[in-house]
Structure formats: structure tokens, C-alpha cells
């Protein structure tokens, strides 16, 4: 099994920089433009609040105008909304899964020291 972590989800990277990267391309901005972080946070909040792909698409469409760009083609806006929603959802699902695993691990009883487990195994051996 490889230990290479090839994508942002597997590397446990934060959601917002990935959202900023997705937003940057169609808006023609560098991915580290500070204005993108605000919009990435808004998209994340929208999805966390239960927004769907259509809600994110509507928000994304308005972004073009706020950056002084012409309204995007409906297909471009829809694809951008879908990409933003799925990126956000992937990160949120990962975060929730990690949090749940940590909760379950905390609920486990503490394990006996290895020396005690080995001694018990030796006693049970034929």
C-alpha cells in the first residue's frame, strides 16, 4: 500500500485554499488572491448550512459581476457551482469522518499494557 497522498483531501489540506484555486481559474485571478478567501469561506458556509449545487451556482454566477467580469455562460456557471459544491462537500465529509473516528477512539476502554497482554496469551497457550 502506498503512503503517497496525492490530493488535497488525502493530505488533510484545508478546504478554503482548494476552493480559492477552483474560483481563481474562471475569474482569471491568481489562486492566492486574498479576495478569493472571503468567497471560499462564503461557499463553505453556504454548503455547511445545507445549500445545494444550485445555490452555489447562483452565488458563483454573481461573483463574475462583483469582479467586473461579464456574466458567465450558463454552462460555465453551472460547472463552477458543481465543482465548488463537490470540493466543499468532500472536505466536510472528510472532516466529519475524522471527528467521528476520534470520538469512537476516545470511547474505547484503555488497552492493557503489552506485557500484560503477552502474559495472558502465554497462560492461555496450550
Q: Which residue has the higher pLDDT, 28 or 5?
A: 28
CB 82 within 8 A of CB 57: yes
Q: How many CB atoms sit inside 10 A of residue 17's CB?
A: 15
Confidence band, pLDDT 50/70/90 cuts, at residue 1: very low
Residue found under cell 477512539: 105
Residue found under cell 461557499: 43
Render pLDDT for 8-23 as a digit per residue (tens, 0 to 9): 999 999 999 999 999 9
Q: CA–CA distance from 84 to each of 10, 18, 27 (Å)?
A: 18, 9, 13
pTM listed for this prediction: 0.80
Amino acid at each position: 500500500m502506498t503512503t503517497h497522498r496525492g490530493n488535497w483531501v488525502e493530505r488533510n489540506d484545508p478546504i478554503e485554499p482548494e476552493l480559492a484555486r477552483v474560483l481563481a481559474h474562471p475569474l482569471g485571478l491568481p489562486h492566492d488572491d486574498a479576495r478569493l478567501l472571503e468567497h471560499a469561506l462564503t461557499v463553505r458556509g453556504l454548503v455547511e448550512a445545507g445549500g445545494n449545487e444550485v445555490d452555489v451556482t447562483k452565488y458563483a454566477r454573481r461573483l463574475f459581476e462583483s469582479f467586473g467580469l461579464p456574466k458567465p455562460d450558463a454552462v460555465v456557471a453551472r460547472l463552477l457551482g458543481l465543482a465548488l459544491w463537490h470540493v466543499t462537500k468532500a472536505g466536510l465529509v472528510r472532516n466529519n469522518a475524522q471527528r467521528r473516528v476520534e470520538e469512537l477512539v476516545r470511547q474505547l476502554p484503555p488497552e492493557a499494557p503489552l506485557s500484560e497482554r503477552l502474559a495472558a496469551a502465554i497462560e492461555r497457550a496450550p
